[in-house]
Structure 1
C-alpha cells in the first residue's frame, strides 16, 4: 500500500499476520518500510542500479527516523545518478509473484478470516488456470475476461444462469483489493468490470412426486445422509446449517434448534422450531462418542460429499440431475407452506431471511415473537410431507394440513 508516511503512522503499523508487508512512501518514490511478524520495521529503497531493479536496505525504524530515512534514500539516489554508488549493499529484488502464488496467501490471510464461504472462493480462483502462471501485477482486464468466458464454457453457465462465473469475478475483485492493501500491486485490472452474464433467479421446486422420490432416496441411504436429507426438507434451512448441526444447539425437550449468528449465512441468530416428525428423526440418530456433530463420519468434522449424495439420489429415484439442487429443497418447503396458507411473513421468519416483509429493529423482536407461528407452519408442512410420502399422491393438501 502507498501512504504519506508520518511518525504517527509508522508507530501505529501493526505486526504482520503471516507474510510480512510493505508500506510505500508517497513523497519519495521507491522508499518503503517493511513490517515483519515480530513487529520489526526496516527501511528499504527500491530503484534501479546499472539498469537492473534492486532493493537497498537503508536501516531500521525507529533507530533511523523518517526524516533521516528520506535523506539517506535521497543521498543513495544521488550517488546512483553520479555512478559512485557502492553496489555491495544492494539486495536483489524478490521474485515476481504470480497469480497462483498469491491465491493461497489470499485465502489463508484474508478469505478464511473474513468470508464464510471461503472454500467457494478458493474453488473458483483455483479453476482460473489460465491466470496462475501470470505475474499478478501484469494481468490485464482482457486476461480476466477471457478466463471468465472460459469458465462459462467449462461449467455450463449459459442461458442467463451466471451465478458461478459472477462469483468468480467477485472473488478476483476481492483478491486484487487485498493485494493493493498489501502492497503487492498498485492497481486492479477489474475495477468497474461488470458481470459477463445476467443472473436469473431460480424458481425450481420439487413436485409432490419428486418430494416422495427424494424421501425414498434418503431412506435408502442410512445414517448420516438419510436423516440429513429428511431434516433438510422438514426444517427448510440451508444445507450447511443442517449438515453442521451440533447436539449442543438442540433442545429436544422444547423442540428447538438454535443457530448462532456465526452459523447462519446472513449472520442473524435463528431459532428453528422442530416438528414432531423432525424430533422423531433426531431421537433416532446415533451419537458419535465424544463429538458434538449430529452428522459426522469422523467425529471431528461434519459430513461433506453432497455432490456424490445428489448423484446417488439422481440414479436411485431418477431426479433430473441438471434441473434440481439442494437449495431447491428449501424453496420447495417455502412454496408449499405458501400453498398451505401460511402467511408470507411467517415463511420469511422460518427461512431466516434478513430482508423481506419484516426487517430492521422489528425483525430482532419478531425472531422470538413468531416462534409459535413458525412452529405451527413447520408442523403443517411436516404433516403434508408425511401425507404424500406415506399415502397415495391423490390426497389433498387440505387433508394433509389437518
Structure 2
C-alpha cells in the first residue's frame, strides 16, 4: 500500500485488528510507516547497501526514524531523504549511528579518565601517599624523612601542583632543578635523588609508565669540603656556646666532644644513655649506616648530660635536648646563626671563615689523627664503614674498638679542655700511636 504521506493521510491510517501493517510513501523508495494494532505509528527507512566489488547487495536493513506525533510527515520525509543520500554513497546509516555512539562513548571515557587523573593521580596526592609510605619504614632515619618532606613541599609541590603525575615530563622536572642556585649543589642532588625515589615508587605501583629521572642528567656532586676548625676557632666556638640558651649550648658542646652527626646528637634520648658505664648507644634506626653505634662518653660529655638532667641521676626516657619535653630541639639553623653572632662578638668583631656544623665532625676526626689515634679507631668513633672497615676487612674484622674509642674521646676532651684554659699545646696529653 502506497500513499503520499501527509498529516491527514497518516492520521487517518487505521490500525489493523491485530499485528501491524506497513504503508509506503509513494515519493521516496524505502520510506515507510508502521502502524500497529495498538495505534502506534512509526516512520522508518528500509535500504540495502552495495559493497564495492560485490555483485549482490546486502540483506535489507531498517532504520527507525521516529514516532508520528513527535515528528511530522515532512520532518520524517526530510530525514528519509538524508538517509537515502547516505545509502547512495555506500554509507550504512545504522553503522554510522553506532560509530557515532561509540565515538561519544570513547570521548566520555577519555573525559572520565582525565577527571580521574586530575583527582586520583594528581602529583600532590601521590606525593603525600609516598611520604606516608616512606615515613612508615621504621628503619628510616628521621633526617632522611625530613629531607624527603622538604624536597616535596619546598621544591616539587609548588611547581607541579595538581598536575596528573603520568602527564609530568622531563620538561617540567628539569626547570625545578635548574632553579636551585648553583652554589647549592647539595640541594640539587637531594632534589634529584628524592624525586627519583618518588618516581620509582610510582612506577612500581603503576601510576606512571617510567621513572623520568633515569633518563635525566644527575646534578654534579658538591665539591668535597675540607674545612677544619683551628684550635683557636674551636676555642671560640666553645666559649660562644656559653652565651647561648642552655639547651643549645649543650647541643653544640656535645657535637664538639663526641664527633657525632648533628641529627644523632639533637635527637639523643635518655633510653640510649647509661651513666654508670658512661656509654651512649645510638640505635640502628638513628645511625646513618643503619648499624648500632656505641659512643663512649668522656667526663666532659657526662658533665654536659648531667646539666641536661639537672643532676647526676638521669631520666629513663624522653629527649635529652628539648625545650618542650615532648620533642627534640628544632631550629638548628637559627641557633647556628646566633652562635656565629656570638663568636664574632668574642673575636673583637671579626667573623671566623664560613663553617658548618658538620665541619665539627671533620675537626674531631682530624684532631684525633693529630693526637696519634689509629685510623681504624677514628673510623670507629665516627661509625664509618668505609676505609678500614670496608671490603673484605669489614667482613672479617669484628673488633669493636670500644676501649680504644674511649681512650680517643677522653684524649680529645682533654685537648679541648686544654684549649679553654689556655694550656700550651705541648702540654696537652697525647695518645701514643700504635703500630
TM-score normalised by length of structure 1: 0.71
Say what the alpha-carbon RMSD is for the aligned residues. Answer: 2.9
8 Å Cα contact 2:228-2:360 kept in structure 1: yes
Q: Which residue of 1 aligns with 2:194?
A: 171
**1:285 offset after TM fit, Å?**
2.0
Q: Which residue of 2 aligns with 1:59?
A: none
Q: Which residue of 2 aligns with 1:285?
A: 308
For the structure 1 residues 282 and 139, does the alpha-carbon distance in structure 2 shift closer, same or farther, using more than 3 Å as the test?
Answer: same
Aligned counterpart in structure 2 of residue 225 of structure 1, from 248, 254, 257: 248
- How many angstroms apart in 1 are the aligned matches of 2:366 and 2:181? 30
Task: Count the aligned residue pairs.
Answer: 315
Q: Which moved more, 1:129-138 or 1:218-227?
A: 129-138
**1:134 offset after TM fit, Å?**
3.4
Aligned counterpart in structure 2 of residue 326 of structure 1, from 345, 357, 362: 357
- How many angstroms apart in 1 are the aligned matches of 2:395 and 2:327? 31
Q: Which residue of 2 aligns with 1:197?
A: 220
1:49-68 maps to which residues of 2 (within 5 A)? none
**1:115 offset after TM fit, Å?**
3.9
**1:339 offset after TM fit, Å?**
0.9
Aligned counterpart in structure 2 of residue 118 of structure 1, from 145, 161, 164: 145
1:2-401 maps to which residues of 2 (within 5 A)? 83=101, 92-93=112-113, 94-96=116-118, 97-113=121-137, 115-116=140-141, 117-128=144-155, 129-152=158-181, 156-157=183-184, 162-286=185-309, 291-318=317-344, 323-359=354-390, 363=394, 369-391=400-422, 395-397=424-426, 399-401=428-430
- How many angstroms apart in 1 are the aligned matches of 2:205 and 2:150? 22
**1:95 offset after TM fit, Å?**
4.3
What runs of 5+ residues in structure 2 fail to find an aligned partner? 1-97, 345-349
For the structure 1 residues 320 and 361, does the alpha-carbon distance in structure 2 shift closer, same or farther, using more than 3 Å as the test?
Answer: farther
- How many angstroms apart in 1 are the aligned matches of 2:399 and 2:271? 20
**1:397 offset after TM fit, Å?**
5.0
**1:221 offset after TM fit, Å?**
1.7
Q: Which residue of 2 aligns with 1:36?
A: none
Q: Which residue of 2 aligns with 1:50?
A: none
- How many angstroms apart in 1 are the aligned matches of 2:401 and 2:354? 34
8 Å Cα contact 2:296-2:402 kept in structure 1: yes
**1:92 offset after TM fit, Å?**
3.6
SS at match of 2:212: coil
Q: Which residue of 2 aligns with 1:71?
A: none
For the structure 1 residues 277 and 302, does the alpha-carbon distance in structure 2 shift closer, same or farther, using more than 3 Å as the test?
Answer: same
- How many angstroms apart in 1 are the aligned matches of 2:285 and 2:235? 33
- How many angstroms apart in 2 are the aligned matches of 1:320 and 1:366? 44
- How many angstroms apart in 1 are the aligned matches of 2:414 and 2:272? 24
**1:311 offset after TM fit, Å?**
0.7
- How many angstroms apart in 1 are the aligned matches of 2:328 and 2:102? 65
8 Å Cα contact 1:270-1:367 kept in structure 2: no
8 Å Cα contact 1:350-1:374 kept in structure 2: yes
8 Å Cα contact 1:234-1:278 kept in structure 2: yes
**1:399 offset after TM fit, Å?**
2.5
**1:371 offset after TM fit, Å?**
0.6
For the structure 1 residues 84 and 140, does the alpha-carbon distance in structure 2 shift closer, same or farther, using more than 3 Å as the test?
Answer: closer
- How many angstroms apart in 1 are the aligned matches of 2:353 and 2:411? 30
For the structure 1 residues 365 and 312, does the alpha-carbon distance in structure 2 shift closer, same or farther, using more than 3 Å as the test?
Answer: farther
